[in-house]
Amino acid sequence: MRSPSAGRLAITGARLVDGDGDHGIGDVLLEDGVIQAIGEGAGAGAATVVDAGGALLTPAFLDLHAHLREPGQEVKEDLASGLAAAAAGGFGTVVSMANTTPTVDEPGLVAELVEKAARLPGARLRPGAALSHGLRGETLTDFAALQAAGAVMITDDGIPVANGRLMRSACEYAAELGLVVQTHSEDPSLRGDGVMHEGEVSQELGLPGNPDAAEAVMVFRDCEVARLTGARVHIAHVTSRRAMQVIEHFKALGAPVTCEVTPHHLTLTDAALRGFDPVFKVAPPLRSEADVAYLREALRRGTVDSIGTDHAPHTRAEKERDLMAAPFGLPNIEVAFPVLYTRLVRPGELELADLLRLLQDGPAAVMGWPRPRLQAGAPADLVLLDLETERAVDPARFASKARFSPWAGERLRGWPTLTVVEGAVAFRLEEGAG
């Protein structure tokens, strides 16, 4: 089991912030996996004391979209490295994707993940399970049995559900069970063999493009199916203005649709592909500057429900192939908050409270989970954030097995220095970093 905190742990002198606001400087006292007391002087008498020195203490983040690669692809990542990486990024809870080998499409596989993760330090695992057997898009998995085994979400993420009738059946079934269906919304026929966003840059480079229409068309279908069935459909990794406008349209109609954007689609554009570096090859692709600007506007307007990382580790060797052959995806869970804090909050593009909402209350609301709060009796899942010290991104120090990053060498602020999960220290920054 996750080792229970040895006696009482106190974090003192922290700036306490949660979805209800900024509660000023105070202490928290943690015991038995929950917050026992909070406020000025609450930390007195604890066995272990961490002096926060005025750093920001807030509920640990929730990531509804991470690829932890177990079972079967442990060369890329495994539960231990993935959950440690999540904790290093300030995440206390992670929903794992089912596109593993074998696919997580049987209740026994879900149960195995739950059992194994419970014995590991790091973030808490809440597994997602496949929508179709083998992600083949042909037959539905047994959602009820998967849910009973511990699956919290149904998703074929990685592969779009091409068949509309199967998507409808999945949503009808999920609605009965109150399960969220997360979609990878890209029309496979329109996407074709595109390796990057279709636009000026793809033309200039002579690379096959994946048009924004491929995303917008499938988002439209998925929103219609949500409206038709009443299922809670969460659109993963929205990348384009066109797709976001479709979601806005359906949200205005009251359709039960929520959506996610990723740190990379908010901070990088297709221009990054000019160096032909496969680290920037992701699916759906990095889009144009105008798309990124629109996604940022959607964050400010509140259209976006959650930021999910789509942490997608691969081996270096795989990502060092040429651009056409390299796999899609990049690791980012350890740098997600610093990247977004440095690129969006510090320049004044996004309020800190909004960024926190997109990593805490937002994903909790998508899933129907309790909103994380700093209050007595709440789970002791917390992250301490140093908003001031600049540190360079050093992939060699990643807990993830995927030790490369599009932000390697960049100096960022907003690093997690301590992550607590169920009252136990899941991550502590070793100084000397940066």
Please choose, from the candidates 407, 327, 403, 306, the residue with its C-alpha nearest in 3D space to the C-alpha of residue 99: 327
Q: Please report, as a single letter, which amino acid is at residue 36.
A: Q
The residue among 236 and 383 lying less far from Zn ion, judged by its C-beta, is: 236
Q: Which amino acid is at 346?
A: R
Residue 241 phi/psi, 5-degree rounding, is: -60, -45
Q: Which is nearer to Zn ion, 70 or 157 (CB)?
A: 157
Q: How many Å apart are CA 221 and CA 112, to the nearest integer?
A: 34
Helix (H, G, I), strand (E, B) or coil at 202: helix
Nearer to Zn ion, 37 or 154 (CB): 154
CB burial string 275-293: b at 16+ within 10 A, e below: eeebbbbbbbbbbbeebbe
Nearer of residues 61 and 415 to Zn ion, judged by Cβ: 61
Q: Give the nearest distance from C-beta 315 to Zn ion in angstroms.
A: 17
According to CB under 5 A, which residues from 287 to 326 bind Zn ion? 310
Residues 6+ apart with CB under 8 A from 50: 9, 10, 11, 12, 384, 418
Choices 154-162, 261-269, 404-412, 421-429; region in contact with Zn ion by CB under 5 A: 154-162
Nearest-approach distance from CB 182 to Zn ion, in angstroms? 9
Q: Which lies closer to Zn ion via its Cβ, residue 58 or residue 183?
A: 183
63 binds Zn ion (CB under 5 A): no
What is the four-CA torsion angle of 50, 124, 307, 194, rounded to 10 degrees? 130
- The residue (of 78 and 310) whose beta carbon lies closer to Zn ion is 310
Q: What is the dihedral of CA 134, 135, 140, 141, to 10 degrees?
A: 50
CA distance 114 to 124: 9
> Is 361 assigned a catalytic role?
no
Stretch that binds Zn ion, among 121-129, 151-159, 245-253, 422-430 (CB under 5 A): 151-159
Q: Render 281-309 in DSSP notation, one character per residue.
A: --SSPP--HHHHHHHHHHHHHT---EE--
- Contact between 77 and Zn ion per CB under 5 A: no
Residue list 108-147, contact with Zn ion (CB under 5 A):
none
What Cα–Cα distance (Å) separates residue 41 from each residue in 29, 48, 109? 9, 14, 46
Is residue 273 within 8 Å of 225, Cβ to Cβ? no
- Of these residues, 310, 361, 381, 386, which one is catalytic? 310
Per CB under 5 A, the segment of 21-29, 152-160, 207-215, 386-394 that binds Zn ion is 152-160
- Least distance from C-beta 56 to Zn ion, angstroms? 29
Nearer to Zn ion, 27 or 310 (CB): 310
Contact (Cβ atoms closer than 8 angstroms) between residue 273 and residue 205: yes
Q: Is 157 in the site for Zn ion (CB under 5 A)?
A: yes
Burial class (CB in 10 A: 0-12, 13-18, 19+), 109: buried
Provide the minimum distance between the beta carbon of 310 and Zn ion in the complex, in angstroms, as a whole number: 4
Residues in 189-218 that interact with Zn ion by CB under 5 A? none
Nearest distance from C-beta of residue 67 to Zn ion, angstroms: 6
- State the minimum distance, in angstroms, from the CB of residue 308 to Zn ion: 8
CB 104 within 8 A of CB 110: yes
Q: Could you tell me the smallest distance in angstroms from the CB atom of residue 283 to Zn ion?
A: 8
Residues in the interface with Zn ion (CB under 5 A) total 2
Single out the segment in contact with Zn ion by CB under 5 A; choices: 82-90, 156-164, 197-205, 256-264: 156-164
Footprint of Zn ion (CB under 5 A): 157, 310
Q: Which residues are designated catalytic?
A: 310
